[in-house]
Amino acid sequence: MKMNKSGGRLHWLLALQAVILMLLASSPHVFADEALDQAVLKLQSPKLMEVRQALPLLKDSESEVADELLAALLTSDLYRSRADDRLVVMGATMPGGVEVRRLDMATEPPGLTEPEIAKKGDFRRVATNNAMRRQIRTLIATRSLQHKEVSRRLNAVNQIFDKLDEDNVELIQSAFAGEDNAEVKALMQQALQLFRLQTGALGDQLEAAQNLQDSLQPAVVNEFRSLRRELTDIADTRPLTAQEKLLQRAASDGIRKVEEKAEFYSKVENLFFGLSLGSVLVLAAIGLAVTFGVMGVINMAHGELIMLGAYTTFVIQQLMPQQVGLALLLSIPCAFVVSAVVGMLIERGVIRFLYGRPLETLLATFGVSLILQQAVRSIFSPLNRAVESPDWMHGVWQINPIFSITYNRLFIIFFSLMVFFALLLVLKKTSLGLRVRAVSQNRAMAQAMGVRSAWVDCTTFGLGSGIAGIAGVALSQLTNVGPNLGQSYIIDSFMVVVFGGVGNLWGTLVAGLSLGVANKFLEPFSGAVLAKILVLIFIILFIQKRPRGLFPQKGRAVDG
C-alpha cells in the first residue's frame, strides 16, 4: 500500500520533470525569429543598402514588433543609439527631451520597452528614401493581409477599401488565393469588385455593380452615388446608351437597398440603445420596487444607496488598481453589503418609527439622502470620480459595416436581467420571499401566523437597498461617480415603479424597458432633454388615467 502510493508519486514527479524539460528545451525554438535578428542587424547599419535588405527580412518575421518597426521606419521615427546602435522608436517631443521606446530583443517575444525620456542628440535616424517607403507600405499591407488573426485581416481589407489602387488590388488578389476564411474572402471580393466599378470599362462596371448590390460598405455606396451623379450629368448632354441606363439603374438600386438597410439598422440601434437605457432604469428601480412596492415605504434616499454602491466600486478599484476586472466583480457583493447595511440602519433608525405615515417617511428619508450626499462630498470631495472599465467591457461588436453594438451596453442589459430574475427568484422561491409577500399582503394576518414582521421589514429593506448598491456598480461603468449620481436617478426610478404598478416586479421591468425605448425613439425628433420632458408629461397624464400603473395589484389586499 505504502509502496504503491510512493510509487505513484514518483511517476508524477517524473512526468512533471519531463514536461518542464520539454518546455525548457523547446522555448528557444518557439520564439526564435532569425529573420528579425538579421533584420535588426541590418537596420543598425548606417548604409542605405543594408537597411533596404532588412525589409524582406522584416516581412518574413513572425514577431509583432516587426510591424511596429516597419511603421516607425515609414514615418522616419526609427533611430539607432549613437552609443551602442540599439534601435529606438521615437515618439512625441516632451519637456526635457523626446519620448523613446527601445527595442528589447531579450524579452520573449521581442518588443518595445515602456516610453522613457531621452535626449534626441543621442540617436541617429535610420535612413530611408521614397522608393523604400513605397515598398514599406506594401509590406505593412501584406503583413496585415496575411496576419494569422482573422480580425486583423478584416481590418486590413477594410482599411484598403478607402484607398484602392493598382498596388493594393494586386496585394489583395495575391492574398485572396491563400485566404481560407469565408468572411475575409467575401470582403476581399467586394474590394476587388469595387475596384472594377471604379476603374473598369462600362461592361466591367455593370457586372461589378450587379455583384455589389448587397454590399453595405460605405465606400461602395459612395461610389454608387458618384456614378449616379456622373450618369445624370451625361444624360443632360446626350441620351444614355442602353448599357449606361442599366448601370444607372444598378447604382440606384444599390443605393436604395443600402438606405433601406441603414434605416432598418438605425431603428434596431435605437431599440438597442433604448433597451440599454431602459435596463439601467430597471436596475435603478427594482430596489425601489421592493421597498416602495412591497413595503409601501417611500425611500427618497434610494438614489444615495445607488451612489454608495458606485463609490464602493470606486474604492475597491483604488485598492487593487492592477486588476480592474477582478475589482469590478468583487465590488458587486461588496456594494450589495455596503448599501444593504446602510439601508437596514436607515430602516432601524428612522423608518421604523414612521410606518403608516408615508408623507413623513418621504421627508425623513429625504433628510437621510442629504446627509449621505454631504458625507460622500466630505469624504471623497465634490468632484466626479472616474471608474475604469475592464478590457472585456470595452470595444465594439461590429455586426456589419453600418451597425455595431458596444459591449458595455450589452453587458448592462444582461446584468440587469440577471439581477431582476435573481430578485424574482428570491421573492418567489425562498422562505424570506414568502414572508415578505405575506407581510406586504396582510400584515396583521402574517403576524398572527407567527411571522416576525419587524424582522421581515428590516430584511426586505436591506434587500431593496442592496440591489440599489448593485445598480450603483453598473452605473459606475456608464457615467462618472459623483455625489449627485443618485439624485439624477431617483425621480426616474419612482416614475418607473409608479408607471409599472406598485408591488409588481414584472411591471417594473416592462415599464423601465418601455420608458427607455420611448425615450430613445423620441430623441431624434425632439432632442434628449425634450424627450425626457415628454416622457415625464406622459407619465403624469398616465397616472391620472390609471392611478395604479400598468399592472395594478388585484385582490382585497389593495384597498384604496
**By the criterion CB under 8 A, which residues form the site for other proteins?**
298, 350, 353-354, 356-364, 366-371, 373-375, 377-378, 487, 491, 494-495, 498, 527, 529-530, 532-533, 536-537, 539-541, 543-545, 547, 559-560
Looking at residue 213, what DSSP letter applies?
Answer: T
Nearer to other proteins, 142 or 487 (CB): 487
Q: What is the radius of gyration, based on Cα positions, of the chain?
A: 33
Shortest Cβ 140–other proteins spacing (Å): 48
Nearer to other proteins, 185 or 548 (CB): 548
Point out which residues pair with 123 in neighbouring strands. Answer: 81
DSSP, residue by residue, 510-534: HHHHHHHHHHHHHHHHH-HHHHHHH
Nearer to other proteins, 49 or 529 (CB): 529
Measured between alpha carbons, how far is 468 from 305 in angstroms, rounded to an integer?
6
Measured between alpha carbons, how far is 274 from 512 in angstroms, rounded to an integer?
10
Nearer to other proteins, 86 or 377 (CB): 377
Nearer to other proteins, 268 or 491 (CB): 491
Measured between alpha carbons, how far is 126 from 108 in angstroms, rounded to an integer?
24
Q: Name the strand (E) or helix (H) holding 397.
A: strand 396-400
Quote the Cα angle for 63-69-72, to 5°. 155
Shortest Cβ 448–other proteins spacing (Å): 18
Nearer to other proteins, 329 or 540 (CB): 540
Point out which residues pair with 118 in neighbouring strands. Answer: 98
Residues 6+ apart with CB under 8 A from 479: 485
CB-CB contact of 393 with 276 (8 Å): no
Nearer to other proteins, 240 or 362 (CB): 362
CB-CB contact of 59 with 171 (8 Å): no
Question: For the chain, what is the largest distance between any 2 Cα atoms, rounded to a whole number of angstroms?
Answer: 102
Measured between alpha carbons, how far is 107 from 88 in angstroms, rounded to an integer?
15
Nearer to other proteins, 148 or 545 (CB): 545
Shortest Cβ 556–other proteins spacing (Å): 12
Shortest Cβ 498–other proteins spacing (Å): 6
Nearer to other proteins, 298 or 342 (CB): 298
Measured between alpha carbons, how far is 519 from 458 in angstroms, rounded to an integer?
35
Shortest Cβ 496–other proteins spacing (Å): 11
DSSP, residue by residue, 223-252: HHHHHHHHHHHHHHHSPPPHHHHHHHHHHH
Nearer to other proteins, 110 or 343 (CB): 343
Shortest Cβ 308–other proteins spacing (Å): 15
Shortest Cβ 536–other proteins spacing (Å): 4
φ, ψ of residue 378 to 5 degrees: the values are -70, -35
* Burial label, 554 (beta-carbon count in 10 A; 0-12, 13-18, 19+): exposed
Shortest Cβ 521–other proteins spacing (Å): 18
Q: 63's torsion region: left (phi>0), alpha (psi -120 to 50) or beta?
A: beta
Shortest Cβ 516–other proteins spacing (Å): 17
Shortest Cβ 295–other proteins spacing (Å): 13
Long-range pairs for 392-400: beta carbons < 8 A, 24 or more residues apart:
392/325, 393/477, 400/216, 400/265
Residue whose entry in the numeric block shows the C-alpha cell 457586372: 207
